[in-house]
Amino acid sequence: MAEPLRIALAGLGTVGAGVIRLIETNAALIAARAGRPIEIAAVSARSRSRERGVDLSRFAWVDDMSALATRDDIDVVVELVGGEDGPALALARAAIAGGKGVVTANKAMIAHHGLELAEAAETAGVALRFEAAVAGGIPVIKGLREGTAANAIERVYGILNGTSNYILSTMEATGADFAQTLAEAQRLGYAEADPTFDIEGVDAAHKLAILASIAFGTRLDFAGVDCEGIARVRAADIAQADRLGYVIRLVGLADCEESDTGEARLLQRVKPCLVPRGHPLAHVTGPTNAVVAEGNFSGRLLFQGAGAGGGPTASAVVADLIDIARGEAGAPFSVPVADLVPIGRAEGGERTARTYLRFTVADRPGVLAEMTAAMRDAGVSIESMIQEGRPEEGGEVLVAMVAHEGPERCIRHALSLLADSPSFTDRPLAMQILA
């Protein structure tokens, strides 16, 4: 058998410890599938004394993780520290410059610096792999890079954040409101103490930008992701969606469109949507992730599974290591960075969709007439409307509407006409209905 692939682990949290357990437990299977053993030679983390449930005594301990990049006994550095830049980015840069491959689970670093790192890796002739950065244990990057390589991808979308999905599906099951459900998710460990990146959609946006680049062969554009989180979704919205035959999910979606001049433009958005009960994403509950890719020959493909956790994420990390051991790394973004297409951003205003609108208004005469007049003047056709009083909250009325399919710009115009109205006690919420 060939010489082992020697790796260093930077970061020994849940995923790092999971990588050690997986390599130990499945050592013979991994060696057979990789064509050679994969061995851990060195490790580094903030605290040497912390109990991690794994035996670290067999590995060289390195206090300064940047030193992993210059060790002669290392072929690949596995970065599991996290963070958009800082020590993680410095380590990745140094490892590549030192002729070592890099495997990372760091979606923020790849979303912001992936093209720089990929170009450096291509120049140095080393591997850069990041399967674990998107959707945990689901092999969606491999599926897009390899399984659908012969297809023109028409759109890619899905549930990319387990915390938000847990909150929304729990609100659906219990009838509890957002704040109560978030607190419970934090107590159970499904949400961080600071859940901002999750509930505001930033985590999902990082992942979507990576998927869009691979799916469409375009340059990464995280700044171009239109992002809105779930904090404004109420239990009442979920109840109304249920009556209409939908569930609410935070959906990341990317597709390409052709402008009037024939120029391709990329739409990337992360927003809460109403999903028909018959759609595969409607049945994704809890902290699960799911990604749908639609190819022009493959049709609709669904990738679903655990989007986080030590075991699933470690599985994705080691899968990347097996590919490197086989010599099958390939271009990080499917094609060389020089061949990735710079692409404009699609504005989205001419996109047509049915839309759910929720208004919270004062309970007084004339408010409904004001709302319907704004819809009329903006060219929005109302398909259905439900009004519910809330006397326990000082006479507020919740009005939910579904608008017929029409351009997004019309919805925006209607809301702008109502923006300064004193009748509204909360900002309106608009959610598209996923087709």
Q: Is 207 a catalytic residue?
A: yes
Distance set, CA 167 to CA 13, 152, 304, 314 (Å): 24, 34, 18, 25
Give the C-alpha separation, 386 to 151, whole Å.
Answer: 43
The helix/strand/coil state of 118 is helix
Give the C-alpha separation, 230 to 66, whole Å.
Answer: 38
First to last CA, the chain: 52
Residues 372, 378, 381, 384, CA torsion sign: negative
Backbone angles phi, psi at 302, to 5 degrees: -115, 125
Q: Quote the DSSP letter at residue 308.
A: S
Residue 208: which of 299, 134, 266 has the closest Cα?
A: 134
Give the C-alpha separation, 228 to 134, whole Å.
Answer: 19
Give the C-alpha separation, 325 to 242, whole Å.
Answer: 49
For 422, residues 6+ apart whose C-beta sits below 8 A from its C-beta are 362
Among candidate residues 100, 107, 142, 207, the one labeled active-site is 207
Q: Find out whether 270 and 140 touch, Cβ atoms under 8 Å.
A: no
Backbone angles phi, psi at 432, to 5 degrees: -75, 155
Catalytic residues: 207
